[in-house]
Amino acid sequence: MTRTSTPLVLLDLDGTLTDSAPGILAGIRHAYGVLGLPVPDDAALRSFVGPPITDSFAAHGVPAARVDEAVVAYRAVFAAGGMYDNRVYDGIPQTLVALRDAGCALAVATSKPEVFAKPICDRFGLSELVDGIFGAPLEEGLSTKADVIATALATLGRATPADPADGPVVMVGDRLHDVHGAAAHGIDCLGVSWGYADDGELLAAGAVAVVDDVRDLTAAVLTRLPVTPTPAR
Cα angle, residue 74 at apex, residues 72 and 77 outer, rounded to 5°? 110
Residues 6+ apart with CB under 8 A from 113: 135, 136, 137, 138, 140
Catalytic (active site) residue 90: no
Is residue 106 within 8 Å of 11, Cβ to Cβ?
Answer: yes
What is the distance between the alpha carbons of residues 89 and 126, in angstroms, rounded to a whole number?
11
Query: Of the listed 12, 14, 19, 178, which one is catalytic?
Result: 12
Chain centre distance of CA 196: 11
Interstrand relation of 105-113 and 8-11 (parallel, antiparallel or unpaired)? parallel
Which residue numbers are catalytic? 12
